[in-house]
Every structure is written in C-alpha cells, then in structure tokens.
Chain A
Amino acid sequence: MAARYRMNLLDWILAPFQYGFMRTAALAGALVGATCALLGVYVVLRRMAFIGDALAHTVLPGLVIAYLNRWNMTAGALVAGVITALGIGWLSRRREIREDTAIGIAFTGMFALGVLLMSAARSFRDFSHMLFGYIIGVTDDQLRLFAALAAVIVVVLGLLHKELELTSFDPLHAQAIGLRPDRLRYVLLLLMALAVVGAIQAVGVVLTSALLIVPAAAASLLTNRLPVMMALAVLIAVLASLIGLLISYHLDVASGAAIVLTCIAAFLLAWAVRAVRERHKPASENHT
C-alpha cells in the first residue's frame, strides 16, 4: 500500500518531465526563482519590496513596445527595467516629493501606458502572458539568457557581499569609511532589473514581486544569519517553482499563480515553524 503510494507520487513528480517543454520550464522556474530569492533577501532586509513591485510593473511598456514592433521582448524588458532602476535611484535622491509617492506615480503611469498600447493592438492572449506569465513557453534561447542573467547576479552579489551587507545595516559607517551607499543601491536596483526580466516570463508582471519577496521573507523567519537566509530563500524558491509547476500541470491551472501560491504556502509554513520555536524557547533567552 505504502509502496504503491510512493510509486504514484514518484510518477506524479516525474511523468510531466517526459515533455521537453516541461523540462525547460522547470529549469527556467528554478533558475529565475533562485535568482530572485537571492536578491530578494536584500530587497526584504532593505525594505525595498515596493520598489521591486514597481520595477516589475514599469517593465510592461517595454515589453509591449517590443512586442508591437516584433523586437526581442526580453531585450525590451531588459531596457525598460534598467531605465526604471536608474530612474528610481535618481528619484530616491531627490527631496521634492516622498520617494514612495514618486515611485507610486511612475509605476502606475508606466503600467497604464503599457495597458493602453496593448489595448490598441487587441491581442489579449499575448497580453495575458505578459501579465500573468507563460513559463511553459520558455525557449532554449531564453533559458540560456536567464542563466547568463543569473550568473551576473550571483557573481556581483558575491564580489560585493561585504559592502552590500554593510551599507544595508549601517550606511553611515559605510559612508564614513569611504563607501558610497547610494551607488551600491544603484547596483542593487540594476541587479533587480535583471532578475525581474526572467521572473516576468515565469509568473508575469503582476506577480513578479512575489518571487522577490516571499521566499526571502519566509527564510527571514527561520534564521538570523545572512548567508543561511540566502541559502534557505534559494531552496524555498526552487522547491516552490517545481511544486507550483507540477500542480499547474496536473490540475491544469495557471502556472505563475500556482508557483506564487506555493511560495506563499512555504511562507505560512515558515511562520508556523517560527511560532512553534518561539514557544519552546527557554524564558531566559527572551531578555530583549
């Protein structure tokens, strides 16, 4: 009985991957999820969640313009993402208007522009892929590009780890020893733009910030060590991408939404684990 159940589960997991498009989708999901989660730890710790969401949404007009002109859509997203990242970096240094307000204006404005352009073209199937993702449509070329983007992000985060860490928790000390926290913030924004480009293909413009925020937030509930947090976030994101993809295959539901909801389930699980752990903590440790 147990053995048969195990066979069924194994079958449930493995059978979909006899299809090439599912294998590509799984790789893309894992790659994009892992990159977003890694970067997401900084997004969460530096309270940049709203910026992550805005970055994903402002990419829409770039996607639409590329689509309408039959250019490479990934390139369109990349250009729009980088322009947005630079724009947000610039806005956050100005003082005429509060940063979150300015971002809110730019973000809704760009998103509306994308919707407007797309409504003129009247192709709602392609439009819904932009909004909600189409991970099983990932091509091998796109997969290679995602791998390259992931490599760039991992290498930059690795090389600048100690500076990014320091400017995140003590920007004043960083500045006093000659670092430029505002420029390191630009670096993070640009990396976020790169990560968002892959995530949009997987879960769409609307749900992309979930990949940046949710796995990292779940990991932040489980540990107070940065490297461990990054590893856990990546693990959660990869598992959630694969499980979400399988659920979407078997139940025939939207893959992007399934991936995001699996991430949310992981977050709730982490929350429960933390609650149980807090309860079993000896009273003597709760001195703060």
Chain B
Amino acid sequence: MARWFFPYGGKAGASPMRGAPALAAQRLAVRYPAAVQPALRDVTITVPVGTRLALVGPNGAGKSTLLKAAAGLLPIAEGQLTICGLPPGQCPHLVAYLAQRGEVDWHFPISVRRLVVTGRYPHLGWLRSPSREDWRKADAALERLGIRDLAERQIGELSGGQQQRALLARALAQEAELLLLDEPLNAIDAATRAVVSDLLSDLKREGKTVIVATHELDRLQADFDDALFLLDGRVIGRGLADYQQKADAVLNGWLRVTA
C-alpha cells in the first residue's frame, strides 16, 4: 500500500546507468508551476562524474532552478535532463539536495543529530527506523564538519554557519554520488568557509560529483574544476579559464550589487 501511495526508499529507486555523466542537459527549459516565463531556458551542459561545478550568477539567474530541476523538484518544460542517465527524481538515494537555509523550519523541536540522520531516510524507506549504523554515519558526518559537540542541541540554537554545516553533514550522511548544494557559502563565517573548501576537495578525491550554486567569486579556481555562468535564466559562459573576463564583462556589476 505504502509503495503505491508514494514510492520512497533505497530499493524503490532505479540503479544509475554505468558510464553516464552525473548530469546531462539538452536545451533544457524549466518553468515554475505558476509562472508564464521559464526561469531557465536553453541550457545544454554535460557534467562528468567527479566534477566540482560552480553555478555562478546573481540572484534570479536560474542557479536554484537548475538544482531543483536536477533534484526532481520542478517539472521540465522543454528539452532533456538526465541524472546518472535517468530522469531526475528516479534515484533519490544517489542525489543529495541541499536547499537554501531558509527552507528549513529551524524552530522545529529536533536535535542536530536527528536532522543529520534524516539524510539516511532514502536508504531506509517506510516503516524502518535508523539503525545503529545509520546513527554512526550521522555522527561521522557531524565529526567531519566539526560540529559533533553540537549534536544534541536543538537546531535553532545554532549560528547560521553551524546550521549550514549541519545541512552539509546531512548531505554527507546520505552517501550520495551527486551533491546539489544551493548557496552553501552564503553568509557563513570564515571557519565554515574553510571547512567547506576542505570538504569539496575531499569529495573530489572520493570521486563524487558536486554542483554548487554561488555568487561568490573569491575561491572559484581553488574550490572548483568547472563553472557555468548564468544570467536571466540563460548560460552566458562556461569554464574557469577566463572567468575573470566573463565576470568583468557581464557579471561584475550584478555581483557587486547582489553579493
């Protein structure tokens, strides 16, 4: 019954196609349900497995839209989008989506540790509680982000940077192959910034694919392998090589205003 009501859990997801890129989009357009104009259009991009890709652009450029579409949260209006060779949303246990911090109700009575263990839910599915192994993985993720000592705090008691770390810990605990991170660098402290940098290079070493929406240009070349520049829902540039020019030419004004 439950399976019919809403499939969920590791066994419900399809297995990824071998050798397929982590994300492939062809002339992709995405529209929010109530909107007339697509928030993203004509995006063609292939992201090979193991890449750290930065999505760069001002607010409203379409970064979040692309991530949401990849997580299967928005319908595709035109074109094609595949995740590990499958339609978005088909293998939720392999894709960790980290929303902007404001999407979570931080007043909710739940501990940091329990928030992180929700990353294990796609592996559990209906009616199964987290096992000792799941809790161990949650604790390991907390340790890795340096907030193990905050594990029993209520989530609202954390600072902004600590909340961001808790969400990243959850994404890690999920043990996904593709991580979609929406503005994890927005308004965080220097210590958290350093932790995120280390994490990105660790994930690279583990062969994971990471796509990060950001409007911060400071550490682009150090933290990422590739970048996609977006403006007004369109791709306006690709690659890190001449990002300075792209940034200067088109984005700079926007970024100064919005960053």
Interface positions of A (Cβ within 8 A of B): 45, 95, 159, 162-163, 165-166, 168-173, 175-180, 183, 220, 223-226, 229, 287-288
Contacts and interface: CB of A to CB of B under 8 A. Distances in A.
Interface in B64-93: 71-73, 89, 92-93
Q: How large is the interface on B (under 10, 10 to 19, 20 to 34, 35 or more residues)?
A: 35 or more
Contacts of A223: 109
A180 B72 CA distance: 12
Interface of B: 5-9, 12-13, 34, 71-73, 89, 92-93, 95, 97, 99, 103-105, 108-111, 115, 118, 121-122, 124, 126-127, 129-130, 154-159, 170
Given A162-B121, A173-B97, A288-B159, A179 B8 contact: yes
Contacts of A172: 73, 97, 99, 103
A166 B97 contact: no
A199 B5 CA distance: 29
B9 A288 contact: no
A179 to B, nearest CB: 5
Chain A interface, >50% SS class? helix
A98 to B, nearest CB: 14
B7 A178 contact: yes
Contact of A224 (B12, B13, B95, B154): B154
Contacts of B108: 45, 168-169, 226
B127 A159 contact: yes
Contacts, number: 87
A288 B71 contact: no
A273 to B, nearest CB: 16
B109 A176 contact: no
Contacts of A287: 157, 159
B131 to A, nearest CB: 13
Query: In this complex, which of B12, B118, B122, B157 has the most chain A Cβ atoms within 10 angstroms of its Cβ?
Result: B118
Contact of A220 (B109, B156, B157): B109
Contacts of A224: 109, 154, 156
Given A288-B156, A288-B158, A176 B13 contact: no
Contacts of A170: 99, 103-105, 115, 118
A173 B34 contact: no
